[in-house]
Amino acid sequence: MMNQEFTGKIAVVTGAASGIGYTVAHHLAERGARIVGLDLNDRVHELMNDLPGRGHHSIVADLTDPSAASTAITETVETVGVPHILVNSAGLALLDPAVDVTPDRWKLTLDVNLSGTFYMAQAAGRVMLEAGYGRIINLASQAAVIGLDQHAAYCASKAAVVGLTHVLSLEWARRGVTVNAVSPTVVETPLGKAAWAGEKGEKAKAEIPVGRFAQPEEVAALIAFLAGDDAAMITGSNYVIDGGFTTV
């Protein structure tokens, strides 16, 4: 019988129409959570309707709009209830040599990866703090702790997500809200497989001590642990899930 540890819990997941976000939404739904999935892609409606369990909700939102987060959390509270869990999975990677990064691409990367994460955490944090309970998990990246070629904007945005995680955890710990970050290496989502196909991917795998990329289900399992009651003593941490790459 499937573990139902999240029965009665409401989880907001951004980037829920694809990749890690969708896998997390499915993983938590299988374990009893009611999911509120946010995505820019309106396919999120169909995908959330097809999740295991009942009572899921979907919202199309552009998180580069500073007002979108508070609107989404208000809708969540009014239609489903006060969220217990927030997973900030929405993100993008626009890769350029540092000397070629345009202002528009720099701004968009930070708007999605950093500002979108902050505004969602802020909006959810307000209702979680009032309720006295919350679990917030921010998707960072191994790029938060090491430099990667052509990743100037991406590395900067993800390092800032880890810094933000530290501050929020410090401010909110005594009021029942934990905030942690998860930092994967390349994850074999459909986009990840396409971006790292062929010789480029094989070379990258060879540099990882375990010899492979991460699976989305492995990332989802770590997020689920941090979202659960057993992780109540863990806050302000950044969990790197990269097969030992950053320790080499």
Q: Which residues are catalytic?
A: 154
Q: Which residue has the tokens 């991460």?
A: 214
Beta bridge partners of 139: 182
3-state class (DSSP) for residue 222? helix
Q: Are 33 and 54 contacting, i.e. CB atoms less than 8 angstroms apart?
A: no
Q: Encoding tokens for residue 87?
A: 């997973």
Element (H, E) at 28: helix 19-30
Q: DSSP letter string over 34-99?
A: EEEEEESSTTHHHHHHTSSSS--EEEE--TTSTTHHHHHHHHHHHHT-S-SEEEE-------B-GG
First to last CA, the chain: 40
Question: With 0-12 CB in 10 A as exposed, 13-18 as middle and 19+ as buried, what is 176?
Answer: middle
Q: Report the candidate in 170, 165, 184, 55 with the shortest Cα–Cα distance to residue 120.
A: 165
- Token pair for 201: 């991917």
Tell me how crowded residue 40 is: count the other CB atoms within 10 A of its CB: 18
